[in-house]
Amino acid sequence: MGTAIAAVITAAGSSARMGGVKKEYLVLPETPGLTAVPRGTDGAPLTVLGAAVNAFADCGRIGPIMITVPPDAGDCEYAARRALARLPRQEVPEIFFVPGGASRRISVHHALSTLAGFKPDYVLIHDGARPWVRPSLIDRVIDAVILYDAVLPATPLSETPKELDGGFVKRHLRRGSVVLAQTPQAFAFKPLLAAHEKAARRELDESLEYTDDAEIWGEFVGPVAVVEGDRANRKITFPEDMNAP
């Protein structure tokens, strides 16, 4: 039996910084001269979520795929299904929709709990708002997680970071020792699920909020390896981010 690899794609947020417009369901605009926009069966551009899922479906090494959707809107799963309706292939991995929670960590935890019944060896977790992820990056992350059990892609900084305290510079950080983390992050499944359960208890007890799966792994399991990321793998946060990299 081969290695079982699943994926979680997060799309349960409110898109508040997009003015409340659900960014994952928007159609990617065409920007002449820049990165080609992923297209569906009819040749038209895919949605943000559709493009992200398409890259994982195209990988050929992943299944099932869990997509988190907002828990408080009955039409969100319908909208998500419409966003995926035009994937340019006949066969795709099984795709499931999981109600999210009040935070990204809770949403991922819900998806992991649902995935437990499929008994995957590894799981990749990706932001649904990163539509330009390439299969080559996904393959690189999969190869690394099989070696290291926990991995994230990252890109180097092009500007010098500073740590602030009360509006003043507290520390002058070395650019070479700081990176920008991307997704998909990937982990051995069972330890990650156990780590999320510990994180959930700590959030309740200490009013904390974990925003990153690598942070949870690092606190409750161990080190996280880093592989080369992709500058084109940007996350859409603001309206101007919709333009292709």
Ordered by start, the domain boundaries in the chain are: 5-242
In angstroms, the CA 124 to CA 130 distance is 14
More confident residue, 83 or 210: 210
Would you state the structure tokens that stand for residue 214, as one six-digit string?
């690598």
Straight-line distance from the first to the last Cα atom of the chain, in angstroms, rounded to the nearest whole number: 39
pLDDT value, residue 68: 93
In angstroms, the CA 169 to CA 184 distance is 32
pLDDT in tens, 226-239: 999 999 999 998 88
pLDDT in tens, 170-208: 999 888 888 999 999 999 999 999 999 999 999 999 988
Averaged over 204-223, what is the pLDDT?
Answer: 94
Topology given in CATH for the domain delimited by 5-242: Spore Coat Polysaccharide Biosynthesis Protein SpsA; Chain A (3.90.550)
Which range is most confident: 45-59, 85-99, 155-169?
Answer: 155-169
pLDDT in tens, 1-11: 467 999 999 99
pLDDT in tens, 84-94: 665 655 556 78
Side chain identity at residue 168, one-letter code = F
CB-based contacts of 193, cutoff 8 Å, min separation 6: 112, 113, 116
Cβ-contact 126, 108 below 8 angstroms: no
pLDDT value, residue 146: 97
Does residue 105 carry a pLDDT above 70? yes
DSSP state, residue 5: E
pLDDT value, residue 17: 72
In angstroms, the CA 213 to CA 211 distance is 7
Cβ-contact 45, 27 below 8 angstroms: yes
Averaged over 144-173, what is the pLDDT?
Answer: 93
